[in-house]
């Protein structure tokens, strides 16, 4: 079951429900699977569920903007159209863009759902 409803997604995107892409239901399910994968457990508290909802909406927004292919085959590191060339990497040549929206990480990290390293209690 997706962490976000169509109504919540439309509110997040600030568009009417009828203007959502036809893929929105499938994307909400896939984005919820992605959240489960990143978190490695199901969110349970109200704050965690809210973060999961926002993360799903952010990922669907990313797919609307970038295309779902970005998460299926990966985001291109560079491309060229005529004499125009773009490279999305740092000086070491590593890619700096991801197939997961940065907002997904922000929402999940702020809710304590992502690993932050070893801590002392």
Give the confidence band of 6 by pLDDT, cuts at 50, 70, 90. Answer: very high
CA distance 67 to 71: 8
Domain regions of the chain by residue span: 6-72+99-110
Q: Which two structure tokens, joined as six digits, stand for 89? A: 């990497």
Q: How far is CA 88 from CA 74, 85, 91, 110, in A?
A: 13, 10, 10, 27
113 C-beta neighbours (distance < 10 Å), count: 21
Q: What's residue 119's pLDDT?
A: 59
pLDDT digits (tens, 9 = 90+) for 44-86: 999 999 999 999 999 999 999 887 765 554 555 666 677 776 6
Q: Which residue spans within 27-106 are E strands per DSSP?
A: 78-81, 84-87
Q: What's residue 117's pLDDT?
A: 66
């Amino acid at each position: 079951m997706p962490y976000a409803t169509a109504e919540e997604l439309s509110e997040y995107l600030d568009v009417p429900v009828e203007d959502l892409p036809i893929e929105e239901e499938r994307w909400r399910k896939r984005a919820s699977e992605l959240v489960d994968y990143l978190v490695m457990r199901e969110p349970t508290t109200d704050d965690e569920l809210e973060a999961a909802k926002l993360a799903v909406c952010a990922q669907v927004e990313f797919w609307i903007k970038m295309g779902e292919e970005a998460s299926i085959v990966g985001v291109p590191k560079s491309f060229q159209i005529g004499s125009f060339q773009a490279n999305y990497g740092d000086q070491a040549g590593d890619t700096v863009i991801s197939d997961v929206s940065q907002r997904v990480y922000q929402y999940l990290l702020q809710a304590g759902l992502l690993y932050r390293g070893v801590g002392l209690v």
